[in-house]
Chain A
């Protein structure tokens, strides 16, 4: 028994380190979990990118679920995500709200004109102040908000068709059942 003790210790360490490697390949250690899930979305009131005279607020969006997608023209990963949103955005069954984050309006407009606009509406947060309330720390990030204005889901990083299929669509179906 006592002779096999070092071997057991060694195997335990192998197991521990192996788990660490496995865990890190499946989880992004830079991903910050959002404490806002299940909590009311922060109050916001932001101008439309195309019509800065009009604002969209949390109150004006109450009543049905919607998906907020934080993007910016300077964000490369948003370019990776963009074709996915172009292809799947309309099939989600909820309004897709673009959240233009810390971006010059002209840049964002040019970017959308060049790559196509998957959004039902685009709100602009040039100073990035409201984004702090949402706990945004980069782009892309996406928030699914239900009819009562509660954040139900957050995705950090670009959406892929798999993530949309596996995580987003079942949740949207559930939200629509709650508030038809």
Chain B
């Protein structure tokens, strides 16, 4: 029943137990199989009494934007973890109370911080995250511009030298 709730044991231990390579591969395949069958099961055993199809679509949309805290690389809609199931029920319950998507998100953020959102909100603490890539692009552009300028200046000096050289040559002749 509680298989999906994390227990904070040393996670590394499981990795240490892998055997020879073919066996490890088999184990991985088996784990994959389990994971997928589990996910299929989760939807089969987790039917929520939606009012209509529109509400179900809204629910799927919303839970897909929320992060499963236990597995973290899964969203709430897909996760088979016990806590994810609890939170899905929570989201469902809040929907029945007539809460908007934003209110439901805020409800979870109040408890689990922005971490539950796949799209972090734009605020001073996340400026670097949001605008960092643009910053790097600008830095790159500045570098390219500086290089081009320097080269063209060097080329101009070169050509002047050549011109002078030809003039001098002309004088000589």
Is the CB–CB distance between B112 and A135 below 8 Å? yes
CB-defined contacts of A34 to chain B, threshold 8 Å:
113
Closest to A141 in B: B8
- The residue in chain A whose Cβ has the minimal distance to the Cβ of B90 is A132
- Does A78 sit within 8 A of B, measured CB to CB? yes
Task: Verify A139–B8 contact, CB threshold 8 A.
Answer: yes
A137 partner, pick from B2, B6, B9, B110, beta carbons under 8 A: B6
Contact-size category for B: 20 to 34
A113: CB under 8 A from chain B?
no
Residue A53 at the B interface, CB < 8 A?
no
Interface check A65, CB cutoff 8 A: no
Let me know if B8 and A137 touch, CB within 8 A. no
Contacting residues, chain B, for A110 (C-beta < 8 A): none
The main secondary structure of chain B at its interface with chain A is helix
Q: How far is the CB of B105 from chain A (nearest CB, A)?
A: 13
Would you call the interface of chain A mostly helix, strand, loop, or mixed?
A: loop
Residue B86 interfacial (CB < 8 Å): yes
A76 to B111, CA, bound (A): 25
CB distance from B70 to the nearest CB of A (A): 6
Bound: A137/B150 CA distance, A:
56
**A157 interfacial contact with B, CB 8 Å:** yes
A2 to B83, CA, bound (A): 55
Instruction: Name B residues whose Cβ lies closer than 8 Å to a Cβ of A.
Output: 2, 5-9, 69-70, 72, 82-83, 86-87, 90, 109-113, 115, 147, 150
Q: List residues of chain A with CB under 8 Å of any chain B CB.
A: 2, 30, 32-36, 72, 74-78, 80, 101-103, 128-129, 132-135, 137-140, 156-158
